[in-house]
């Protein structure tokens, strides 16, 4: 196993889950400690093992022919953006599985794995309230057992943008999502538009590896000032929070300019940079104008394109994006 899987992390994962020991009987009548029963205070079953998830979904499919199963992969600490994905899944399927797993292999050693916000009890209550049927909350060693040595490399769509400063990130994302797809075997899986490059990576992997799963990308959910909702927004102090909204404001200015006839990607990038530069607490990482499917840069917005930004604001690394639609154009990106 990688050095990323330190003993302290394994102890953390164990103690984190042990605080929610399951007290009921599972659907097969076996007494449980973690997998398969109901967590204290939760209305929805919680599973911690691959075997239990597969058994439950297998039973569902045998009992309910044609049952539609959806998966919402998350790292927890839910906000309205997560809940929006769950509601969409609830409206379009018979059985909704939500995974809660802070995936260690998508974090670099210098990133915020240990500090990433977590509140399992709150997540279970929020997910139950919107109709989730099963939570999958595995410890690290259930997903990456001793001897695990396989990773998925998704080509060009995983290059540039966030990959420039987060090497290995999308490899980690693709690997864990591929595992979740094989564990749950859903008909549909739901992701947020805020993480546009991640969604493109998952779409590419799903198509290339013939998973046969429909990937649904739902619109970004925003705060009142336009800031994209993110679990990492909790890192922001009040002054940082007041300046972070410029990310969406600058993207909105670019969208308006394109609607008025601007086509030069370089001028649009300069426009966005200038707006962000007026906020001294926002440390810009990149501004890109790219094809929304391939994530490759474009020189002119003569067809729908994606404006994407990343910046550090205090401790938080924030990302956002907005579709740019030229006059007479339509949003060619699959937002269904």
Q: What is the CATH number of the domain that holds 95?
A: 3.40.50.620
User: Percent of the chain, pLDDT > 90?
Assistant: 85
135 plus 201 within the same structural domain:
yes
214 plus 241 within the same structural domain:
no
pLDDT tens by residue, 239-278: 999 999 999 999 999 999 999 999 999 999 999 999 999 9
Do the beta carbons of residue 310 and residue 242 sit within 8 Å? no
Of the residues 65, 79, 82, 169, only one is catalytic, namely 82
157 plus 253 within the same structural domain:
no
Q: What is the CATH number of the domain that holds 255?
A: 3.30.1300.10
In a domain, 203, yes or no: yes
Number of independent structural domains in the chain: 2
Do the beta carbons of residue 310 and residue 286 sit within 8 Å? yes
In a domain, 90, yes or no: yes
65 part of the active site: no
pLDDT tens by residue, 190-244: 999 999 999 999 999 999 999 999 999 999 999 999 999 999 999 999 999 999 9
Select from 170, 187, 218 the last residue of a domain: 218
pLDDT tens by residue, 117-157: 999 999 999 999 999 999 999 999 999 999 999 999 999 99
Select from 197, 218, 239 the last residue of a domain: 218
Residue 24 pLDDT greater than 70, yes or no:
no
257 plus 118 within the same structural domain:
no
Residue 27 pLDDT greater than 50, yes or no:
no
pLDDT value at residue 290: 98
176 plus 235 within the same structural domain:
no
247 plus 270 within the same structural domain:
yes
116 plus 252 within the same structural domain:
no
251 plus 112 within the same structural domain:
no
Q: What is the pTM of this model?
A: 0.88
pLDDT value at residue 309: 98
- Average pLDDT on 65-90 reads 98
pLDDT value at residue 328: 82
In order of 15, 167, 260, the CA distances from 111 in angstroms are: 22, 12, 40
In a domain, 245, yes or no: yes
Alpha-carbon distance of 286 to 288, in angstroms, equals 6
In a domain, 59, yes or no: yes
pLDDT value at residue 331: 64
Residue 2 pLDDT greater than 50, yes or no:
no
96 plus 241 within the same structural domain:
no
Among candidate residues 211, 209, 189, the one with its CA nearest the CA of residue 199:
189
pLDDT value at residue 43: 72
Residues contacting 261, CB < 8 A, separation 6+: 326, 327
pLDDT value at residue 329: 76
Select from 184, 218, 252 the last residue of a domain: 218
Mean pLDDT (the chain, rounded)? 89
In a domain, 332, yes or no: no
Which range marks the domain in which residue 99 is found?
A: 7-218
């Amino acid at each position: 196993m990688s050095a990323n899987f330190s003993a302290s992390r394994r102890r953390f994962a164990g103690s984190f889950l042990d605080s929610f020991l399951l007290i009921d009987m599972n659907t097969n009548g076996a007494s449980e400690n973690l997998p398969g029963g109901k967590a204290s205070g939760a209305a929805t079953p919680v599973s911690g093992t691959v075997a239990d998830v597969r058994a439950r979904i297998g039973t569902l499919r045998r009992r309910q022919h044609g049952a539609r199963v959806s998966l919402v992969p998350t790292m927890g600490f839910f906000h309205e953006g997560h809940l929006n994905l769950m509601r969409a899944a609830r409206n379009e399927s018979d059985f909704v599985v939500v995974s809660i797993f802070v995936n260690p292999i998508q974090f670099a050693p210098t990133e915020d794995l240990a500090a990433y916000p977590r509140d399992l009890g709150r997540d279970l209550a929020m997910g139950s309230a919107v109709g989730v049927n099963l939570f999958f909350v595995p410890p690290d060693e259930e997903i990456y057992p001793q001897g695990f040595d396989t990773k998925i490399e998704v080509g060009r769509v995983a290059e540039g943008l966030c990959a420039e400063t987060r090497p290995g990130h999308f490899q980690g994302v693709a690997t864990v999502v591929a595992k979740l797809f094989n564990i749950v075997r859903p008909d549909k899986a739901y992701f947020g538009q805020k993480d546009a490059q991640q969604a493109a990576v998952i779409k590419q992997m799903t198509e290339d590896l013939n998973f046969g799963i429909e990937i649904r990308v739902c619109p970004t959910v925003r705060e009142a000032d336009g800031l994209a909702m993110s679990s990492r927004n909790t890192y922001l102090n009040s002054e940082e929070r007041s300046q972070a909204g410029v990310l969406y404001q600058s993207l909105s200015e670019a969208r308006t300019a394109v609607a008025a006839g601007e086509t030069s990607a370089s001028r649009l990038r300069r426009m966005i940079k200038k707006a962000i530069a007026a906020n001294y607490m926002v440390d810009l990482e990149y501004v890109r104008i790219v094809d929304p499917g391939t994530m490759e840069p474009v020189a002119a917005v003569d067809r729908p394109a994606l404006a994407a930004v990343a910046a550090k604001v205090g401790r938080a690394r924030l990302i956002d994006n907005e579709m740019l639609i030229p006059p007479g154009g339509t949003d060619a990106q699959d937002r269904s």
